[in-house]
Structure 1
Amino acid sequence: MAKPEQNQEHEWIERVKSEGAVPLLEPEYCPNGWASPPGDVFLVRGPEYLKTKGKIPGGDYLLKPLGFDWIKGPTKVSEILNNPKNRVRRALEDEYSRGHKPFIWAFNLQVPSKENYSAVAYFVSLEPIPEDSLINKFLNGDDAFRNSRLKLIANIFKGPWIVRKAVGEQAICIIGRALTCKYCTGENFIEVDIDIGSSMVANAIVHLAFGYLTTLTVDLAFLIEGQTESELPEQILGAIRFSNLNAASARQIELPSERSTENLRASTPNRFWKSISQLIKPGAHEIDSNSIPPRVNGADDLDKSSKDVNKL
C-alpha cells in the first residue's frame, strides 16, 4: 500500500496531466485528446541488434507521461520551460519548494504555420539519474552528441491512406540529423525545440498531414539511440498519442519578454554551464562530431532511403 506522502507526491503529476487544453483520454479512443500508447506498438533495437539487426517491442518507458500541450503564440514558441507562466514550469517549481526533485523532459514540435503552432510532450523522472546511464551521458553531452543520438519513431496509427503513405510505417529518424534542434537545459529539466520547418521534406509532409489533422491518430516515441552492445536493447524515454486534433483548440500563450527570459536564465542553475566547467578542467576534452561513434547500419537504415530519414 502506498504511503500518504507517496500519493501526495504523485498528485501533482495527475493534476498536470489533466490541466492542458487537450484532454487526457484512454489510448483506445481519444478524439481531440492525448494518451500514452503502449510501448509495444514501437519496435526498438534488441540486445543482438549489432549482429542480427533484430528488433523487439519497446516495452515499458523510462519516464512517466506528464502532459501534452497544443499551443500557439505570436511568434515561434520556444524555451517553454524558461517561461515563468508555463503551467509545467510552475508545477516543477512548486515541487522543488516541497523538497521533491523531479526531472522534466519536454519535446516541443514546432509546426510550420502562420499561427505558430506547437505540440509539446512532457515526461518526468522521479528517481535520480544513474551516473553511468546513457540518459546521463545524453544530458551532459554537447549538442553534437545529442543530435547524433536523439531518435524519433513516428507512426500514423489511424488516418487517410495518403498521409500513411507519405509518413510510412514506423518512420524512424535521428532528429538532430534531419531537423534543427535547440536544447534548453536547466538543473531540473531539458527541453528540445524541434523545428519541423527546417527540413523541406518534413515541412511538406506536415503541411499535407495538417490538412487531415482532425482525422489523424499519431503515435510518437522518443529515445536515445543505442550504438554499442552496452547500450542495447534500446529503451524508449516516453511516447505520446494524439488524435483528431482541432486547430481551433490550440491554446494561445503569452511569450515572456526577452529581458525577463534573460533574467530567468541567469537565476536558474544550468547543466550546460556545469558541463562547460568540466571542459576547462585539466584533462577534460570536448565531445565533437569526430569523436562520436559512427552510426551502425541496421534495419532502420537499410530499409529507409535518405529521403525517408527526414520523415516525421
Structure 2
Amino acid sequence: MLRGLYSAASGMFSLERRQEALSNNLANAQTPGFKKDDTVMRAFPKLLIERIQDFNENIPGAAELSIPGQNVRIGELTNGVYAQERIPSFAQGTLVQSDLPLDVAIEDQNIPLQVVNGRTVKPTAFFAVQLPDGTVGYTRNGKWDLDANGNVVTSEGYRVLGADHKPIQITGSIQKEDLTINAEGQLIAKTNDPTKTTNLGQIGIAIAQNPYDLTRKGTNVYTSENPLVFMQDNAGTNPGVSLHQGFVEQSNVDLGQTMTDMMSTVRAYEANQKVVGAYNTSLEQLYSVGKING
C-alpha cells in the first residue's frame, strides 16, 4: 500500500528540483551569455513481482510429501522517478546590438560537429577568464569594461585572457572608445588615425570539443578538469568562430516556454500532493479500525 506513497513522494522531490532549475533559468533570462539548464528525469529500475510457492501439490500415495508450486508472475513494479542531473543547453543565444566598444559576442554556429566517445556533439567556443583563485574559467558573457588598472574585465569582475593566456591590459592614454575588435578577436587602438594605430593583442577563444564535460561554477562561468585549447594555440586555424563588437549575446532561455514548463511542474506537483493526501487519509482510517474509544 505504501508503494504508491513512495512513488508520489519521489515525484514531488524530482519536480521540486526541476522547478528550481526552471526558476534559475528564469532569473537569468537577462544575463548575457547565460546557458539554460534542462532537468533530466528518469524512472527507477523496474522490479518483477512473482508469487513464490503459490501452492503445493501432494504426491499420490505419499501424503507426507509435496511438490512446491511454481512461481506465479504478477507483473512489473515501478518505484517512481528521480531528477538525475541538470544538463546545460549550449545553443547559440540571440545577438543584440548595443554599440558599446567593449561588448563582444561569440558566434560559433559554423563549428563542425564532432564525434566524442561515439556521440555526436557540437563544440562550443568560450571566452577565457581568470578567476579570483588564479584558475581559468570559461564564459560566454561578453559584456566587458576596464577596471582601474586597465584590465579588460567581465561584468562579474573576472579578467579576460588574451591569446597568450595572459590578462588583457590596456595601458597608456588609450580609452575604450578607441578600441576596435575584428572578427578574429584582434584588439586595435585608434584605427581612425593610421599613424597611431596599435595592435594590442588578441582575445583568447577557448574551444570545448565536448562542452558537456564542463562544470558550471557560479551562474555564468564553467571550469574544466583539463585546460581547454585556445583557438590560437599552435597556430591553429579558425574552426568557424567569429566575434562581433558592439553586440551582446542574450541568454538562450525561452521565457514563454519556461513559464509554461513551470506551470506544468506546479500542476504535476499538486497531483502528487493529492495522492499523498489520499494515502494519508487511508492510513488514518486504517489506524482507527478497532480502536477502543475511551
Q: TM-score, normalised by structure 2?
A: 0.23
Point out the structure with max Rg over C-alpha: 2
Which has more helix, going by share of residues? 1
